[in-house]
């Protein structure tokens, strides 16, 4: 039960000998406005394409005009092929995501000025990076993005998805050092860089599971000394290079939206990189996979002055057995964080 209270009109005198009251921590910033369910229809409507053409048989087209190859959605109904959906995805789109995640993208786009930059870590086929670039171009913004995906098949899907939506993309792979060097090179004429690697807080090598195309739950983590992943699934693992958040955010302009979907290691990823994130990111959308992590993110970013605009908790079903809390999750949550220190109206 949620309890509400109000301060009494009269105060109690404090004895002169009483010790000084401990300092009360200040959480949040008082500037970030929460995004409520009633706000989502208008937010999502801002993403609607002005004109939608009938798709070819291999595509599914959303109300925002983004074309998606149904072959890249092995978990989705095959009846989606050749269809156009003009309905807002409330509460969800039935195949990919919930309304709040679209709300994160709309919020970033609606508050962007002149340029729009998006970084998507755990990108899969890069739906958010591609949609962000397409939407930004419609608004007359100069759009760039990076999509980071460790799985070889999905990183190629990201390249295909970009081409299907007329986004000029560049594919990057190699050692952590080679990837970092490529990111420092100019990308004239390139809108999206697709990196086959794992996003991490430092440049190193991690283990990533070998999985089938329908499994969207892979994560760069395995129980020490075993082949078990965070869900308890026994999978073969291979070494993958990482690309650091610092390298991903190294562009001169701010990153308008840092989108993170890393299936259980979200806090491990962002906590060591908090300093550079606070310097370089306006908004950060994080897919959450357990309630402990949701609380740890709140406890970490709220004292630093960040505002939590969207807090949509994950859903867990505690049946069977799993080695981690994230293993019980049946529906990811979403948190949208705002960095007030880069707002134009930030005091001072």
Q: Class for domain 96-342, per CATH? A: alpha beta
**What pLDDT, in 10s, does the model give residues 127-184?**
999 999 999 999 999 999 999 999 999 999 999 999 999 999 999 999 999 999 999 9
pLDDT exceeds 70 at position 11 = no
Neighbouring residues of 14: CB distance < 8 A, sequence distance ≥ 6: none
Helix boundaries (H) for the chain: 40-45, 99-110, 127-138, 152-164, 176-184, 245-248, 266-270, 274-280, 291-301
Position 209 scores a pLDDT of 75
Torsion angle of alpha carbons 247, 253, 257, 258, nearest 10°?
10
Position 9 scores a pLDDT of 35
**What pLDDT, in 10s, does the model give residues 36-77?**
999 999 999 999 999 998 889 999 999 999 999 999 988 888
Position 1 scores a pLDDT of 38
- Return the ∠ at Cα 110 (arms to 106 and 112), rounded to 5°: 115
pTM of structure:
0.88
Q: So where are the chain's domains?
A: 96-342
Q: pLDDT category, 12, cuts 50, 70, 90?
A: very low
**What pLDDT, in 10s, does the model give residues 195-231?**
999 999 999 998 877 766 665 666 666 566 677 777 7
Q: Rg of the chain's alpha carbons, rounded to an integer?
A: 21
The CA-atom distances, in angstroms, between 250 and each of 18, 50, 185, 246, 266 are: 51, 34, 11, 6, 20
- CB–CB of 67/82 below 8 Å? no
The mean pLDDT value of the chain amounts to 89
Question: Per-residue pLDDT averaged across 331-336, rounded?
Answer: 95
pLDDT exceeds 70 at position 2 = no
**What pLDDT, in 10s, does the model give residues 335-348?**
999 999 999 888 86
| 205-209 sheet: strands from edge to edge | 198-200, 237-244, 205-209
């Amino acid at each position: 039960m949620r309890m509400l209270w109000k301060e009494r009109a009269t105060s109690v005198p404090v004895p002169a000998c009483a010790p000084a009251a401990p300092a009360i921590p200040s959480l949040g910033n008082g500037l970030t406005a929460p995004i409520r369910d009633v706000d989502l229809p208008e937010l999502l409507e801002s993403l609607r394409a002005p004109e939608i053409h009938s798709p070819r048989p291999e595509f599914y087209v959303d109300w925002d005009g983004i074309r998606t190859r149904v072959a890249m959605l092995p978990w989705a109904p095959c009846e989606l092929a050749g269809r156009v959906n003009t309905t807002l995805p409330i509460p969800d789109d039935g195949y990919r995501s919930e309304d709040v995640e679209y709300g994160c993208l709309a919020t970033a786009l609606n508050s962007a000025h002149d340029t729009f930059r998006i970084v998507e870590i755990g990108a899969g086929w890069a739906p958010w990076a591609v949609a962000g670039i397409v939407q930004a171009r419609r608004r007359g913004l100069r759009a760039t993005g990076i999509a980071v995906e460790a799985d070889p098949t999905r990183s190629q899907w990201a390249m295909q998805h970009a081409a299907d939506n007329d986004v000029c993309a560049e594919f990057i792979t190699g050692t952590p050092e080679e990837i970092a060097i490529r990111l420092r090179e100019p990308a004239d004429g390139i809108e999206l860089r697709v990196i086959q690697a794992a996003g991490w807080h430092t440049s190193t090598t991690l283990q990533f599971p070998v999985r089938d195309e329908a499994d969207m739950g892979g994560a760069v983590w395995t129980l020490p000394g075993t082949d078990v992943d965070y869900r308890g699934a026994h999978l073969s693992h291979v070494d993958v290079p990482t690309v650091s958040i610092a390298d991903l955010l190294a562009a001169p302009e701010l990153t308008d939206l840092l989108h993170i979907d890393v299936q259980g290691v979200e806090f491990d990823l962002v906590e060591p990189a908090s300093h550079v994130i606070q310097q370089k990111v306006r908004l950060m959308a994080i897919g959450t996979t357990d309630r402990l992590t949701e609380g740890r993110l709140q406890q970490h970013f709220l004292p630093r002055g960040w505002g939590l605009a969207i807090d949509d908790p994950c859903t867990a079903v505690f049946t069977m057995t799993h080695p981690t809390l994230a293993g019980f999750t049946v529906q990811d949550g979403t948190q949208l964080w705002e960095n007030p220190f880069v707002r134009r109206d930030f005091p001072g």
